Amino acid sequence: MSDSKPADQFFDAAIALLQRARDQEAENIEAAGTLLADTVAAGGRLFAFGAGHSSLAAQDVVYRAGGLALMNLLAVPGVVGVDVMPATLGSALERVDGLASAVLDSSPLRDGDALVVISLSGRNALPVEMAMKARALGAVVIGVTSVAYASETSSRHVSGTYLKDHCDIVLDSKIAIGDAELTLDTIPAPFAPASTVVTTALLQAVMATAAASLADRGIEPPLLRSGNVDGGHDWNGKVFEKYGDRIFYRQ
């Protein structure tokens, strides 16, 4: 690390990562946004899933002011964030074979829907099986992962495959193995993860693309407004009424 402050170093690293994502993933972002718009236009529903800290990026696009109202969180009990106690249980559940199938079998996901699966490593059984099962049900899958893990780690799914192998479109966050951007001679381990920053930016870029794609077709995108601005609740109420059959976080 240079003589600059660690905070400055992290911002520099995050900005560089965001610029790389913008430049190198532009085509995939456009394709993913168009795919979501296709799904909405065809009457399909939208879902997002992530386990552990990957769930943060999934939650960021659900019931969000300025976001698509049709994006629903596909929650797996025990792996949504780090609220389960002990927190290490969530990591263990990601490696359980059959869990994703059980969740999808009791979820509203169906043929014609779209599912965004977020997993930094893409190696655990849960996200791999989630993508496989969703496609088997007839849904399209957008994966958000760091493809580098597939060449430097072993898969934890019985098939030996990774999330990237079971997606219609892959957004590569290009986060380095270990997800830590900084090092310091006086600290024995690398630190300062940036995957949430990059993954969230990728997904918000996809959402923006989807909204614009719908508008280009003459379809008003079902966007939510902040409940903290005048008229926001009334606006959202009308969106909920119109698209209630495709919104599951209000039930």
251 residues of the chain, pLDDT tens digit each: 567 899 999 999 999 999 999 999 999 999 999 999 999 999 999 999 999 899 999 999 999 999 999 999 998 888 877 777 888 888 888 887 889 999 999 999 999 999 999 999 999 999 999 999 999 999 999 999 999 999 889 899 989 899 999 999 999 999 999 999 999 999 999 999 999 999 999 999 999 999 999 999 999 999 999 999 999 999 999 999 999 999 999 87
Q: Supply 59's token pair.
A: 């939650």
Assess contact for 72 and 47: CB atoms under 8 A. yes
pTM for the predicted model, two decimal places:
0.94
C-alpha distances (whole Å) from 205 to each of 34, 101, 176, 200 are 11, 29, 21, 9
Burial class (CB in 10 A: 0-12, 13-18, 19+), 83: exposed
Alpha-carbon dihedral angle through residues 34, 35, 37, 39, given to the nearest 10 degrees: 160
Rg over CA atoms, the chain: 18
83 phi, psi to nearest 5 deg: -85, -20
